[in-house]
Amino acid sequence: MSAPAGIKDRLTRAAAGLLRIRWFVRAPIWLYRARLGALFGGRLLMLEHVGRRSGRRRFVVLEVVDNPEAGTYIVVSGFGRRAQWYRNVEAEPHVRVYIGSRRPAAAEARPLEGEDAVSALRRYAAAHPRAWSSLRPVLEETLGARIDADGTELPMVELRCGS
């Protein structure tokens, strides 16, 4: 049995609001730094990138929406192209990726466009239907745009390790 629409809307807004609380979204970074990233399994990774203005190292933990081949991970920017990490990897695509409790791996970040992005999102929705049914409305709330099977404004980035 599912919750009434009003309750679902409030839950979606609350979840989107949590993603705007800095300490909440940064908490997993400390677990990765303590070499406890394995607690998240293969669903999350920590991305180390360089600030486009400051030149300083920055960190963000992101959900992996696809792992099409060994050493390649696809992540999304739930806040669109305005997310700082997204803007940073556009400016400097040389990044480091932390998976589980392993040492970081050098990687190259490449924004995915068109059918590549849609295909990755379809594979995620098929592999994780329950997670997608909860995550989709939250992402639509944070983006301010609808996400559908034929196209998406949800920016995706391919991280290819060993570059």
Higher pLDDT residue, 95 or 24? 95
pLDDT band at 27 (very low <50, low <70, confident <90, very high): confident
- DSSP result, 89-141: HHH--EEEEE-TTSPPEEEEEEEE-HHHHHHHHHHHHHH-HHHHHHHHHHHHH
Rounded distance, CA 151 to CA 21, Å? Answer: 29
Domain boundaries, the chain: 5-161
5-161 sits in which CATH class? Answer: mainly beta
Asked whether 118 and 150 are in contact (CB, 8 A), the reply is yes
Task: Specify the pLDDT at position 15.
Answer: 53
Once rounded to an integer, what is the mean pLDDT over residues 120-131? 88
Predicted confidence (pLDDT) at residue 21 exceeds the cutoff of 60: no
The size of the chain, in residues, is 163
